[in-house]
Structure 1
Amino acid sequence: MSQPPRILLVTGLSGAGRTTVLKTLEDLGWEAVDNLPLGLLDRLLSSPPAQGAPDTERPLAIGIDSRTRGFDADMILRRIAGLRSTSGQVAEILFLDASDAVLATRFSATRRRHPLALDRAAEVGIALERTMLIPLRNAADHLIDTSTTTSNGLQAEIRAAFGAIAVAPEPTLTVTSFSYKRGLPRDADLVLDVRFLRNPFWDATLRAGTGRDVDVSAYIVADEAYASAMAQIEQLLVTLLPRYRNEGKSYVTVAFGCTGGRHRSVHVAEHMGERLRKAGFSPTIAHRDLVDHRPDAREGSPSEGKDAVVAVRK
């Protein structure tokens, strides 16, 4: 079985940001394992990929700190050296540090106890842990001091340093329509109001149709603002979606809303989805409030609170 193209040991002082780093690497496409005893590393490397994992091998990040079972800094360094020498494996150490005062403040703010000072002041555990980790700090290939770094800043630093190693997976993209009468979608990242387009509801011959119907679509497309607006919305989405991916977002929902969620928003969601497919994205099209053809379920009906029939397609 092929080995990971890169192994990164993520270690450092408790409270310095190790968990944030591992989560960020995972969002970037790395396989991340926390507090794995190094004695189990060979078993991990020989294990088959998890179900649903990518076909290609991903770089591997292993989180280790003073709580790891059988922690021994010198043994860890020997294990890393063995990987490098026997298999030519790219194996590196990332060490996260911070000043004692900052670490003590973080433990106080979160009301967490230091793992090496459960019944004593956090400063005692910090000093003990710092001594234990000296060999790893001295041998580190990458050293990041987070004393003045926010969580978002640390994430950005990790993305800049390690983002090129593995291509971040594409976010799951959903393009949905909705009715403003039923409220905004809770999971929407971008909400675009298409009520500026002329409304087929006011044409008696089109009222019973939906934005998927040819005659309804033709009516909407004939609006003089339609072509320009669609082109500009497409350009906006094509610009923004890759940036959401780069920020490590797993899900992105773009919501188009109109009065009843039946005509204009449905049409725009369908056709914008097609434009995005041609631009290389893979959206799922959903219609939250596309109601059926019962008279009491139509746009403008006083029964607007009835349950909608939600239509979803890839």
Structure 2
Amino acid sequence: MELVIVTGMSGAGKSVAVNAMEDLGFFCVDNLPPQFLLQFAQLSIGTKGKNDRIALVVDARSKNVFTSLNEEINLLDENKIRYKLLFLDASDEVLLNRYKETRRKHPLMDSELTSLEKAIDLERTSFETIRSRADYILDTTFLSSQKLKKEVNNLFSVEGNHRMQIKTVSFGYKYGIPNDADLVFDLRYLPNPYYVPELREKTGLQDEVFHYVMETEQAESLFLKLIDLIEYLIPLYTEEGKSQLVIAYGCTGGKHRSVSFARRTAEYLKEKGFPAVTQHRDIERV
């Protein structure tokens, strides 16, 4: 049985993620009270063959989630029930905007807590322990619904390799560092194609920019050192039981240098047999 517990910040995209998991063949239960986690998992094991892929959504709609979810996950561990924990996150600003756009009420708001900002802050603080235990963290701050579905497919597709997934991410520092990054490398000191008129409007996905960035002595030397470090760390993360390693490369705007390095790193790792995927977070931003 493949059991995935889906949780995270309200408004971060859990509904979209679960819809994508249903499309992948998961039997999904939304808004499950945390105290039923162990019972549901044991029942599912007893009926193996009917629903071998199960996703259970537990979030702030269950008022006691913060005090009981961690305890229930400990019970799963004690009973040697294998699971993966998927946590969806987004920046406070984006969560605020999403709630204002939909005009929905945050699940923690009541007669005593009437501020949306304070509700989000309380939820984030209360989720710190659970977030730290997550096998997968998806930061949806800059993801459209379609891109979020793609990320979920990358994680849970039955055709996917069940080894630790490695994701290389390009981003622009002007838009902030990705919340889910494990390793962050700053490339802003490398020669910038933005100042070459014929390359300015292109990206690192195009060979002219890619070669301009990667064929400098600085970039080649840096890439070899970083790959050496990454290859050293991969078995250590694997031994720790980590399910996903996110390697983020940042430049100023997230279109040229970071895209080139994320692209080359993923290509290199795939050639070495690692399950690597790429996300260019800010490549389409104006």
Taking structure 2 as the reference length, the TM-score comes to 0.50
User: What is the TM-score of this pair, normalised by structure 1?
Assistant: 0.46
User: Between Structure 1 and Structure 2, which shows a larger proportion of helix residues?
Assistant: 2
Max Rg structure: 1
Relative contact order higher in (CA < 8 Å, ≥ 6 apart): 2
